[in-house]
């Protein structure tokens, strides 16, 4: 009998929240409204990419009415957290499938954050996973820090936002203070990213990078359809969400590559 799906632990969820951010598309209203992400995708809450009924991300100003119609009146923070927890389910499932050793809540949360940000394929092929499954937790923890690079103008280089996220994940994995490790500060009970450029650590940017890389590859007759967005597997709030996400095998998605 397969193990029950493990949910994202609370501290792992707070880490993800701190790096995904929760902009409001219309500050004049009480609730949280859709906004156009810097990469041109309509998003709501903590990095939830809005998609149509076919699973395609809504892009550009022309899709504004469609995005807002899916969330009339916006959503509350509690509803945004429910969306985020649902978005994280695929990463939770992937970590459970790939890790062959027991994980406490800190280690599990750190790996889910990593997987959500970079994709299951990155974890599957990583030295991090090899060290983890070999029982060398200390060496596995240090491998988080390798994955802080992305291509800028075609050149692979570290990004401060990714570096902070990897430091936070490493600390959480080891049971340490992840907020201090990432240089985060508290403001009225909320975690706030320290400058510069907090957007660099957001998962939507990494997903767009992978989408662009996949688009450049020559088509293959047997290629499976890629998942269009990280979408929830259910709609507990009746928010008119798109259908269940289409999944691909963990190792088949193109990922950000460490140096």
Model confidence pLDDT, tens digit, residues 61-120 = 999 999 999 999 999 999 999 999 999 999 999 999 999 999 999 999 999 999 999 999
122 has pLDDT over 60: yes
**Residue numbers annotated as active site:** 20
**How is domain 77-203 classified at the architecture level of CATH?**
Orthogonal Bundle (1.10)
In this prediction the pTM is 0.76
pLDDT at 113: 97
* Radius of gyration, CA atoms only, the chain: 18
Whole-number Å distance between alpha carbons of 159 and 153 = 13
Whole-number Å distance between alpha carbons of 150 and 32 = 30
Residue of 18, 16, 43 lying closest to 32 (CA atoms): 43
pLDDT at 83: 95
156 has pLDDT over 90: no
Q: What is the pLDDT of residues 220-255, one digit of tens each?
A: 543 333 333 333 333 434 444 443 333 333 333 334
Residue of 14, 13, 37, 9 lying closest to 184 (CA atoms): 14
Contacts of 188 (CB under 8 A, 6+ apart): none
CB-count exposure of residue 88 (10 Å: 0-12, 13-18, 19+): buried
Name the pLDDT band for 207 (thresholds 50, 70, 90): low
pLDDT at 37: 86
Whole-number Å distance between alpha carbons of 30 and 137 = 45
pLDDT at 194: 43
Residue 226 CB coordination number (10 Å) = 15
176 has pLDDT over 90: yes
Question: H or E stretch including 157?
Answer: strand 155-158
Q: What is the pLDDT of residues 7-36, one digit of tens each?
A: 999 999 999 999 998 999 999 999 999 999
Name the pLDDT band for 38 (thresholds 50, 70, 90): confident
Whole-number Å distance between alpha carbons of 98 and 120 = 9
CA-based angle 235:69:248, to the nearest 5? 45
52 has pLDDT over 60: yes
Tokens of 152: 């800028």
CB-count exposure of residue 183 (10 Å: 0-12, 13-18, 19+): middle
pLDDT at 229: 34
CB-count exposure of residue 239 (10 Å: 0-12, 13-18, 19+): middle
Tokens of 243: 């259908």
pLDDT at 224: 35
Q: Which residue has the tokens 């990432």?
A: 182
Q: Are 181 and 170 in contact (CB under 8 A)?
A: yes
- β-pair type (48-49, 42-44): antiparallel
2 has pLDDT over 90: no
Name the pLDDT band for 150 (thresholds 50, 70, 90): confident
What are the boundaries of each domain within the chain? Answer: 77-203
Buried b vs exposed e over 40-69: b needs ≥16 C-beta within 10 Å? ebbbbbbbbbbbbeebebbbeeebeeebbe
């Amino acid at each position: 009998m397969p193990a029950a799906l493990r949910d994202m632990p609370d501290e792992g969820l707070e880490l993800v929240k701190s790096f995904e951010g929760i902009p409001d598309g219309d500050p004049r209203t009480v609730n949280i409204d859709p906004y156009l992400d810097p990469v041109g995708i309509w998003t709501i809450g903590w990095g939830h990419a809005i998609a149509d009924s076919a699973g395609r991300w809504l892009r550009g100003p022309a899709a504004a009415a469609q995005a807002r119609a899916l969330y009339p009146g916006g959503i509350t923070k509690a509803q945004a957290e429910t969306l985020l927890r649902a978005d994280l389910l695929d990463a939770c499932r992937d970590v459970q499938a790939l890790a062959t050793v027991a994980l406490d809540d800190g280690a599990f949360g750190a790996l889910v954050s990593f997987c959500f940000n970079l994709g299951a394929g990155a974890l599957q092929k990583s030295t991090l996973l090899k060290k983890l499954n070999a029982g060398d937790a200390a060496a596995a923890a240090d491998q988080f820090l390798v994955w802080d690079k992305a291509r800028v103008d075609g050149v692979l280089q570290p990004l401060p936002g990714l570096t902070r996220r990897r430091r936070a994940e490493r600390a959480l994995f080891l049971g340490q203070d992840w907020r201090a490790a990432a240089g985060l500060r508290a403001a009225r009970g909320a975690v706030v990213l320290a400058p510069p450029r907090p957007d660099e650590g957001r998962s939507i940017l990494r997903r767009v990078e992978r989408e662009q890389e996949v688009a450049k590859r020559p088509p293959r007759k047997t290629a499976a359809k890629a998942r269009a967005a990280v979408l929830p597997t259910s709609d507990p709030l009746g928010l008119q969400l798109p259908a269940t996400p289409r999944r691909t095998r963990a190792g088949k998605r193109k990922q950000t590559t460490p140096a």
